[in-house]
Amino acid sequence: MTMPPPPQPPQPPFGAYTPVPPMRPEDEKLWATLTHVSGIFTGFIGPLIAYLVVRDRGPFVRAHTAGALNFQLTMLIAGVVGAVLSLIGIGLLILLAVYVLLIVIAIVGAVKANQGQWYNPPVTIRFVS
Cβ contact 61:31 at 8 Å:
yes
CB-CB neighbours of 117 under 10 Å = 13
Q: What is the pLDDT of residues 61-107, one digit of tens each?
A: 999 999 999 999 999 999 999 999 998 889 999 999 999 999 999 99
Q: How many Å is the maximal CA-CA distance in the chain?
A: 91
DSSP classification of residue 4: P
Q: What's the pTM value of the predicted model, to 2 decimals?
A: 0.82
